[in-house]
Structure 1
């Protein structure tokens, strides 16, 4: 992939862009296998590795977290330079056309609604970031990250203009981030449209994505990841499945088959609301019986440790920090026959697997979730004994 921003030195976020895509993925596979071999020794030799799942080289990112800089009359949508000034990246080739087409309209909305971009060095202004997500059906969700609610009245006044100019925009929210710190969004979310979620069509399952719910940035690879895990779960033929760190319920809802009961656990209330809505649409919610999905808003570790019964299969999909010693210790001692571990950080994956010596890794796959960077997704199937 060629990128004018990279070639000119304007943006160097894609650190591996000069390396051929297939070489990038081969190097990541070697890195993953080396980490696991170092952490778990000969157990790593028993993994049957499937061929890495390759992403498209460009146009694959379906979620954009863009910093707003410049001025009200000449806003930038992109990143900040080393001095904290806005750098416009509206033409970044990582984004598919329907998503990229929203950037100029959102920039124009800054002018129309008179939204002052936040000046990081001066610590003044209102609009910090725009976060835009593209659904498979072409609909968009735009979140305006603001320092306060000062501009909220103007945003609401001019929102009809934005919706007319960008008909694919289905959800608009204001996220309030008053603190001056290096985070993308705040805790408070104000929904400004009638709809509050995007429908993410993932084959037979439709996942409802609310503003503060986590979802993979590469939807095409996420769809394949869900299918991969569902296939492994089907092979295990369980009657009970737990999906810990379930997010909006992607793994749980894809594993509903064969008369099994599934429980998803996630700390985010918004994500659990989304998962329950998806389950209701599938007719699989709330009965705690076979062919049913129950979703619980709770800390995954605390919830698991409090249960008396142990499921046949446990799926874990933790954040970068991994599952940690406490949950790894519980899984090791639990007697659960099958564990599926999906990870965005192979370092913590390796550490966690080392803490579960009774669970033998038997299958694995690398997913090219983040081309042109050193990051990747990996999924490992573990069986007891």
Structure 2
């Protein structure tokens, strides 16, 4: 393939995602480093308050990472050995692993072929007396069918833990993601809409969930006098359940507070670049651009194209490698969770979710992040058109 390229589109590598850190972010971290608190302190509390206000939720609980936050949500939802939790295979493994941490069983529901989000009808079919919760994932930043999922959950007394790792700033029927489900998890990894380095956060409107999450992330310990079973004195604390050390540091929270001030700007840039992509790729028969439902607004964490392999002479792997050769840092989101060897050893088999498997075989994620320049965006477009044209039948 290399001999067909002649000159490369780019001389430097463009990743699919990357953080945007400026001098204000750096100064915010320096200020904490000079303060009395480095680990969980006043900056975490300020960050949680600001974050909950941004998503219109009553409460927010910060964690060391998104996976830890999901684990906390599963604990609070009461997931125990033998319980079943329905989720999607089109996600990162953490969305299902958090169920395993509690001894539960992930049950995979197939996806909608247009949105790539979990199919509500499939969820209905998979509910059993053992089902305790549903973990829908807002894939690429587009919210799931939340009203339908919450209605099903209410009917069957289930908890909805929304994995909104991709969806900070997204809206569903004019409501902000983070204010709708029983609990909502946001990831603060560097490739997401804003970052705390590593980090995650759960938002909820349920005070009981909030208090349990706070306790869970700190060894299951409480110092609140009203909750103590005994009280030996002002130094006394109690470990009331087996929690974990999942605390966020003030260093992370300071970065998060600074980043949160810019998140709307970041999302605006993402949407602008998506519009440029959509216009450039309109009408191509060799691949399909992302679908956007009319009653919700994606915050565009990822831009995923789906190849029409019947219109191409090459495989997805060949197209992927050719784009990488052009220094375009494409990726694939995601390998179905149950394809992983660990899940295969648990008894999950291919063929479980045909739609997800078919989509997986044809998708490629293009670079999309605010720190890209418009020239970078045009380089991606040029490279995609170049490679697709070479492989077009």
Higher relative contact order (CA 8 A, sep 6+): 2
TM-score normalized by structure 2? 0.32
- Provide TM-score, normalisation by structure 1: 0.33
**More strand per residue:** 1
> Whose helix fraction is larger, Structure 1's or Structure 2's?
2
